[in-house]
A = this chain, B = another copy of it.
Amino acid sequence: MPKLGMEPIRRDALVRATIAEIGAAGTLDVTVSQIARRAGMSSALAHHYFGGKDQIFFAAMRHILRGFRQEVVTALRAARTPRGRAEALIDASFTASSFDPATIVAWMTLYAQAATNRETNRLLRLYQMRLHGNLRHALRPLSATPDADAAMLGALIDGLYLRAALGGGTTAEAAKATALRALDHLIGVRS
């Protein structure tokens, strides 16, 4: 009997290597060989397990989104009040891991790819819809217009992430503060 059950291990290694390589290179322009080398295998094996470069990339993207979703779920679970839920959603978007160089490039490129790649586009919309749904749910007890407010807060989060990721003056902390401030505005905190 041969060595068994390598597939999930290899696939996982490749996905991680892809993200790491993208982060290290700062571009999506990484070759399958680079990825495979980092994952400690031949490029042929990478193709064997994924079928092609696109699919490797797609899996990496899904991995990133899945990771983000995890953080959201965890954060939501800890929240006790409606406002706490909204804050949790904001927090999850500006985690340290969200600003891992690899994650940033990957996320940015997701958007760039979305214009062309239908799968990527679907993936991103899914993320946006999920965020929207979560926000709306959190805001419902607090706002008279939860849907519109959720739309705004969602877009604001993305925009702030963009700025923070760009590395200009906006830090992750500042971004989070701005989002929280907007939340206050929306639900009318009279302090």
Contact = CB atoms under 8 A, between A and B. Distances in A.
Contacts of A108: 111-112, 114-115
Residue among A109, A112, A165 with the highest chain B CB neighbour number at 10 A: A112
Nearest to A159: B159
Contacts of A59: none
- A interface: dominant SS: helix
Interface residues of A, number: 44
Interface in A154-191: 154-160, 162-163, 165-168, 170, 174-175, 178, 181-182, 185-186
Nearest to A157: B159
Contacts of A128: 163, 166, 168
A166 B125 contact: yes
A114 B166 contact: yes
A152 B178 contact: yes
A121 interface: yes
19 contacts: A27-B113, A105-B112, A111-B166, A112-B112, A114-B166, A125-B168, A128-B163, A128-B166, A148-B181, A152-B182, A154-B159, A155-B162, A155-B163, A155-B170, A155-B175, A156-B159, A158-B162, A158-B163, A159-B162
